[in-house]
Each structure stands twice: as structure tokens, then as C-alpha cells.
Amino acid sequence: MDKNYRKIIYLSFPPGRSSQPLVCNLARNFNLTFNILKAQITPRQEGFMTLEISGDEENFHKGSEYLKEQGVRVTPVAQKITRNEESCMHCGMCTSLCPTRALAVNAATRCVDFDAEKCSACGMCVRVCPVRAMEVDLENGVLQ
């Protein structure tokens, strides 16, 4: 099994489950590391979270099953963000909204650097890019 398995997933917690330490249990019980990329709890106590999970692939699948048994819907992020380098004018609009800092102005070059490894595929940059240089690439034709 691959010890460096890495996946970005979207979790939907039913009311009452968002206050429980289910994500922490992924680290404790399944030896997985996680990075919370985005999280929200609605007034109705429903929870939504985008996580980057790393570890052993077998443990990832066991952890996913654990979450499902707890009533959490687990959805792989089926999109990724790319940048059309020829179109980008490095205005920096995207950097102010990027929650993971995957887009940042390089102080030395005054250009916007894009680190796809940090990207959570939230799509905020796509919405604000004035020249549409940021694009959504779909996996299996599915848009999240």
C-alpha cells in the first residue's frame, strides 16, 4: 500500500454530528493526517468540510468507511483548478480570495504564483478572474 496516499474529499455532516470529533478520530484511529481546507456549519447545525487527507491508502478507505458509518457523506473532490498561463495578466484578484494561499503574489517577480498542490479546488479564483485564466478541469465530467 502507498504510505503517501493523498486525497481531497468533501464531507457533509448531518445535524448533531458536526459537533463530534469525527475528523480527529481519523488521525487517532486510522493514522491519517488531515488539513482542513474549508469548513462551515449552517444555522441548522449541518456541517460541510473540505479536507486533504494523507496516509496509507488502506487506512484512508477504513477512515472513509468510519465516517460513512457515522452518517457523514464522503465525496471525492472531482475537479481541479488549472491556470492558462498565456491568459493570466497577474492582476492578483485571485490571491485575495484563495483560502489555502495556493495563489500568491511573488514579491521578487510581481507575478502571481500558483501552487496546484495547495489548491482545494473551491473555485473562488475562477469566479473572480477578469480574463478567465483560472479554469475548472472536471474529472469524469462531474462538477462539484
pLDDT of 6-55, one tens digit each?
888 888 899 888 888 999 999 999 999 998 878 888 888 888 888 888 89
Residue 61, in any domain of the structure:
yes
The three-state DSSP-derived secondary structure of 62-82 is HHHHHHHHCCCEEEECCEEEE
Asked whether residue 24 falls in the same domain as residue 56, the answer is yes
Asked whether residue 88 falls in the same domain as residue 58, the answer is no
Residue 31, in any domain of the structure:
yes
Asked if pLDDT for residue 75 goes beyond 90, the answer is no
In terms of residue numbers, what domain contains 110?
A: 80-138
Asked whether residue 89 falls in the same domain as residue 70, the answer is no
Q: Is the pTM of this model over 0.75?
A: no
Asked whether residue 117 falls in the same domain as residue 131, the answer is yes
pLDDT of 93-138, one tens digit each?
999 988 888 999 999 999 999 988 778 777 889 989 999 999 887 6
Residue 25, in any domain of the structure:
yes
Asked whether residue 13 falls in the same domain as residue 67, the answer is yes
Residue 51, in any domain of the structure:
yes
Residue 126, in any domain of the structure:
yes
Residue 143, in any domain of the structure:
no
Asked whether residue 124 falls in the same domain as residue 68, the answer is no
Asked whether residue 94 falls in the same domain as residue 122, the answer is yes
Q: Distance (Å, rounded) from C-alpha 74 to C-alpha 13?
A: 9
pLDDT at res. 129: 94
pLDDT of 52-72, one tens digit each?
888 999 999 999 999 999 999
